[in-house]
Amino acid sequence: MKEGKQMDNPSYRTYRYRFAVLGVVMLVNLTIQALWISYAPVAGAAAAFYGVSELKIGLFAMVFMIAFIPLSLPVSWLIDRFGFAKMVGLGAVATAAFGIMRGLAGSNYAMAFAATLGLAAAQPFLLNAWTKVPAAWCPARERATAVGLFTLSNIVGTALGLVLTPILAEGMSLPRIQLAYGLAAGISALAFVLVAREKPALPPDDSAAGVKALETKGFAHALSLPSFRRYLAMAFIGMGVFNGVTTWVEAIVRPRGLDSTQAGLVMAIMLVGGVAGALIMPALSDRSGRRRPFMAIGLGAAVPGLLGLAFAPGFIPIALSCVLLGFALVSVNPIGMQYASEVALPTPEGSTNGLVSLAGQASVALVWGMEAVNAATGSFSVSLSLGAALLAGSALLALGLKEPGVKGPGRA
């Protein structure tokens, strides 16, 4: 393990090895996302292959969100209690095992779905360590950037699952595609087990060296803080809008003459905007040492993007709206997750990460609500307009949050 630049205080040190640890965490997150979304772009073909309805194929993706709700907090406790290296390693190995099992299921839908349940149970072990890892390895001024990289890995994994699966399906059977994804998960799990370490020999700064609250008391402490509770509401709304748009994008744009191929391009364009947001905004937040204004800007900028998606005529205006929407909404997630871990100290990072992830996954209620409003009104424009109003309210809510006082470069 090579040492990086030594800080002024000899009790603290940043290690270059942190990039290797961040890299393997990104890799296992990327593979679970590809496995999550891999049936969505070939739903019709998968339904015919397994001899089931498209709704049952949709369950392959929805079960991940459903399983996350009861598992998030217990898994967060396990991460805080036993460390991310062991728990994320367990999740990564389980992801590989169940991914390979799904590939070996052949045309047996019940076996493939049972393997998917295992994948869904493994996912919280990967997602709920996002703030735990930077807290151990990175100084405070880098942590939102690190969480932004984890967000980026999830977006890339989703994009790969959406783009690669239809291409592979032209020459491979669905079980072979799933087996390939499972083997890729096996490689990423092996890399994680070999590379990941719980913490460096010396902490990167005083915040990493601080004593954390007992795990079981940490949840109650975090939930007792008004700013933390407000951010949970913001996460619920932001993730609900993002998940709703990604779930119903084809039906949203179809009335304005876009076909399924163009709908897929719109989704890809939104993810490209998200990649840019995950790279740029968290880095600016770290550099300035502030969280609140960047969350407010992201939520506020998402409003015209969402309204453009709802009402813009034609492919180009819709695509431009989606670039803005993806950039704005995705940028809020890493900044907000790091904000939550900072404002809730001394609650352990795994606990705050779990609560925020739980709020985001519970937003599946908003996803279903969008379809219910569409069924009642005959248009998604109503639910998207309501979503824009909720985002505007969240932006105002962000302005009233307590700033945790992150130390940026050159700050005392």
Residue 80, in any domain of the structure = yes
* CATH number of the domain encompassing residue 272: 1.20.1250.20
One domain for residues 192 and 59: yes
One domain for residues 236 and 178: no
Q: What is the CA radius of gyration of the chain?
A: 21
Residue 244, in any domain of the structure = yes
One domain for residues 269 and 125: no
pLDDT band, very low/low/confident/very high, at 1 (cuts 50, 70, 90)? very low
Residue 48 pLDDT greater than 80, yes or no: yes
Angstrom distance (rounded) from CA 258 to CA 239: 25
Angle at CA of residue 262, ends 256 and 267, nearest 5°: 105
Strand 13-15, strand 3-6: pairing: antiparallel
Helix (H, G, I), strand (E, B) or coil at 83: coil
Q: Which two tokens stand for residue 56?
A: 């049952």
**What's the total number of domains in the chain?**
2
Average pLDDT, whole number, for the chain?
Answer: 86
Q: What does the pLDDT read at residue 62?
A: 80
One domain for residues 72 and 99: yes
One domain for residues 283 and 334: yes
One domain for residues 105 and 228: no
One domain for residues 57 and 100: yes
Q: What does the pLDDT read at residue 409?
A: 45
Cβ proximity of 338 and 143 under 8 Å: yes
One domain for residues 332 and 373: yes
First to last CA, the chain: 28
- Can you tell me which residue has the tokens 């984890």? 150
Angstrom distance (rounded) from CA 144 to CA 298: 14
Write down which residue in 134, 164, 197 finishes a domain.
197
More confident residue, 66 or 410: 66
Domain with 264, as residue range(s), is 215-399
Number of continuous H segments (helices) and E segments (strands) in the chain = 17, 2
One domain for residues 295 and 225: yes
Give the tens place of pLDDT for each residue, 339-384.
988 888 888 777 787 788 888 878 878 877 887 888 888 888 999 9
One domain for residues 78 and 123: yes
Helix H segments across 254-403?
Answer: 260-288, 292-311, 315-343, 349-362, 364-377, 381-399
Q: Which two tokens stand for residue 366?
A: 């908003």
One domain for residues 264 and 356: yes
One domain for residues 134 and 185: yes
Angstrom distance (rounded) from CA 235 to CA 359: 6
Chain CA centroid to CA 367, Å:
16
More confident residue, 276 or 243: 276
Give the predicted TM-score (pTM) of the model. 0.76
